[in-house]
């Protein structure tokens, strides 16, 4: 007997590009008679199945719906995914028979470490009555389990369905074992390193206790980095500008943010990516920020113009600069190398 079923609905999204969705159909064949015996079925790989005809009749059954996958009659959790934008989104996937309109007022909540229990996620359609519900986490929290609860109403009575607790690290482990596309694997490998090394560096920087404040991220792909090799690969992101007092930094918190600090002369116009902006001012310096940078755009440069002077600065400019400093810690340099690999893998993945 061959019995393939919907084992897992999994997909990886970088920015807004979906990677893959695979369906499996269940089929059985039995020789009729006393105590029906299952007959071996061969999947021919072209949408057809074959078997050797035994003596007597054979009964074939297949659980197939019009759109090519098994259906449920109640809201059902169907799998997980990751959405890599300015933050890391853990996706919980639901099948809603009849579509989301059959469940007016429905939403999903999440519980877990540092998760806002009051946040209500709306479903986003991905086809075939499947909907994704997303909760966002920072890189250093990828090992923390998140429990989803789907809320809907029947005859004005609220009904809840609790799904399995899941983490971004769970998906990474699954991806490292099951993904075969090299571009997808490179994203997963780099994401594992980014989560692992960001947790090590930020726990020291913020005096967190790994395993207490946040679950320990144990999965990584790279055990070490060659700082000189990575910095050489980043050479094109070096910043050369005569803008006064120019400096920049990255925020590795709940979202990726690039802060740019400088001095602007009186009356000088400031533009960021060709848009006139009003910088914030602190201690005599001006500052502008690029917030929520998508994973696929971490290698993208942003143009700052102050009067007639310009500079192009990328998140990778920060990595290039700090990797060249001898007084920076290995923990930070490991994070910067992982960050470069992550941004580069996402950019390559998003090209197609």
- CATH number, domain of 79, equals 2.60.40
Instruction: pLDDT band for 17, please (50, 70, 90 cuts).
Output: very low
CA 124 to chain centroid: 16
> Range with the lowest mean pLDDT among 27-41, 198-212, 239-253, 336-350?
27-41
Whether the CB-CB separation of 349 and 186 falls below 8 Å is answered with yes
What are the backbone dihedrals phi and psi of residue 189, each rounded to the nearest 5 degrees, phi first? -60, -45
Distance CA 74, CA 123 (A): 16
- Domain boundary residue among 213, 232, 259? 213
pLDDT at 263 over 50: yes
| Same domain for 125 and 56 | no
Q: Is residue 321 part of a domain?
A: yes
Q: Is residue 54 part of a domain?
A: yes
| Same domain for 115 and 31 | no
| Same domain for 176 and 136 | yes
Q: Which domain holds residue 308?
A: 224-349
| Same domain for 28 and 114 | no
Question: What pLDDT is stored for residue 54 in this prediction?
Answer: 61
pLDDT at 9 over 50: no
Domain count, the chain: 3
- Domain boundary residue among 213, 235, 256? 213
Distance CA 69, CA 139 (A): 34
Q: Is residue 4 part of a domain?
A: no
Distance CA 163, CA 32 (A): 40
Question: What pLDDT is stored for residue 256 in this prediction?
Answer: 86
| Same domain for 326 and 275 | yes
Q: Is residue 245 part of a domain?
A: yes
Q: Is residue 14 part of a domain?
A: yes
Mean pLDDT (whole number) for 330-335: 97
Average pLDDT of the chain, as a whole number: 84
Question: What pLDDT is stored for residue 251 in this prediction?
Answer: 87
The DSSP element (H or E) to which 326 belongs, if any, is none
Q: Is residue 193 part of a domain?
A: yes
Specify the higher pLDDT residue, 19 or 68.
68
| Same domain for 207 and 265 | no
Q: Is residue 69 part of a domain?
A: no
Distance CA 241, CA 336 (A): 23
Q: Is residue 255 part of a domain?
A: yes
Cα-Cα-Cα-Cα torsion 125, 128, 133, 137, nearest 10 degrees, comes to -100
Mean pLDDT (whole number) for 206-223: 96
């Amino acid at each position: 007997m061959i019995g393939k079923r919907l084992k897992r609905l999994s997909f990886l999204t970088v920015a807004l590009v979906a990677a893959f969705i695979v369906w499996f159909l269940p089929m059985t064949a039995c020789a009729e008679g006393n105590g029906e015996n299952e007959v071996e079925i061969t999947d021919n790989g072209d949408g057809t199945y074959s078997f050797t005809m035994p003596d007597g009749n054979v009964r074939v059954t297949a659980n197939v719906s019009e759109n090519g996958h098994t259906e449920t009659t109640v809201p059902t959790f169907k799998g997980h995914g990751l959405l890599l934008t300015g933050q890391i989104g853990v996706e919980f996937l639901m099948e809603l028979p009849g579509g989301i309109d059959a469940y007016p007022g429905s939403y999903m909540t999440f519980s877990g470490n540092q998760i806002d229990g009051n946040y209500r996620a709306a479903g986003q359609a991905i086809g075939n009555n499947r909907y994704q519900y997303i909760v966002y986490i920072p890189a250093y929290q990828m090992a923390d389990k998140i429990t989803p609860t789907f809320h809907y109403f029947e005859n004005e009575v609220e009904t809840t369905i609790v799904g399995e607790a899941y983490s971004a690290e769970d998906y990474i482990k699954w991806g490292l074992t099951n993904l075969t596309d090299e571009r997808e694997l490179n994203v997963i490998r780099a994401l594992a390193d980014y989560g692992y090394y960001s947790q090590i560096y930020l726990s020291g920087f913020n005096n967190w206790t790994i395993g207490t404040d946040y679950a320990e991220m144990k999965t990584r792909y790279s055990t070490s980095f060659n700082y000189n090799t990575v910095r050489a690969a980043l050479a094109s992101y070096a910043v050369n500008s005569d803008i006064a007092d120019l400096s920049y930094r990255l925020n590795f918190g709940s979202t990726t943010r690039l802060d740019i600090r400088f001095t602007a002369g009186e009356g000088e116009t400031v533009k960021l990516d060709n848009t006139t902006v009003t910088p914030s001012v602190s201690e005599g310096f001006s500052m502008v920020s690029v917030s929520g940078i998508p994973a696929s755009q971490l290698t993208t440069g942003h143009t700052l113009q102050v009067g007639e002077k310009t500079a192009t600065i990328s998140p990778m400019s920060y990595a290039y600069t700090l990797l060249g400093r001898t007084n920076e810690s290995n923990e930070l340099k490991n994070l910067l190398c992982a960050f470069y690999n992550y941004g580069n893998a996402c950019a390559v993945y998003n090209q197609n």
